[in-house]
Amino acid sequence: MKIAVISDIHANVYALMNALEDIDSEKVDTIICLGDLVGYGPHPNEVISMIRRRHILCIKGNYDISVVDNEYSFIRETHINSFSLPWTVNELREENRIFLKNLSTSLTLNILNKNLLFVHGSPNKINEYLLKDDDNTLNIMNDLNEDVLICAHTHIPGIKEFGNKVYINCGSVGKPKIGRPNSTYCILTITKEDGMKVQIKEIPYAYKRIIKDMTILEFPNGLIQSLENGLE
């Protein structure tokens, strides 16, 4: 079984298109999205339409919930979000808002007797940051009932073993925080012969296209620069 895991697209349709093209070349069996389809970027409807058209299995992220609620439910009340949240709420088509609302918050799979838990933030909270070397991640992994935790939300990819359990963060397709304007996603391969193998892929995309769109739409300079630099 070969699974591509993507997340945190954040209304960046150019990054999503590029990532899906790369994933198709990997000949995976399925794609799973860990949420945050919207927020920050200028293409929320296009991103959701592409996810739906490809029948990609998807859970919701913290920004998705906040857009559905039209409140700072699980996002910080910052200068950028004070622009991004209302802009996305106004731009989002009703059918896509309903799609986000109806997504689940987690997914559990059993593949070859290995239990995998997919979440956006953590098993405890949708907007909890799990960085691989932080104490809260250690506590989460110690309490984890499953064999593998696959998460996102931090926009920083990582892999780490905690005893006989494995932590995987797939990073971000549309708004990286790795110091480069490149998408990251994860390929998870589980076979009877080789067990589980994990690969984090980092791929460039035509980021100047989304910079141009955001500039034309008069998005905040700080938000534009964050996509250009691959930083917060």
**pLDDT at site 138:** 98
Q: Number of structural domains, the chain?
A: 1
Which of these, 133, 125, 79, 91, lies nearest to 106 by C-alpha position?
125
**pLDDT at site 79:** 96
Dig out the tokens for 232 from the structure.
């917060």
- Tally of CB atoms within 10 A around 139: 12
The CATH number for 144's domain is 3.60.21.10
What φ, ψ does residue 77 adopt, rounded to 5°? -90, 80
User: What are the 10-residue block averages of pLDDT along the chain, 232 residues in total?
Assistant: 98 98 98 98 98 98 98 97 98 98 98 97 98 97 98 98 98 98 98 96 98 98 97 90
**pLDDT at site 178:** 98
**pLDDT at site 124:** 97
Q: Which domain holds residue 180?
A: 2-229
**pLDDT at site 232:** 86
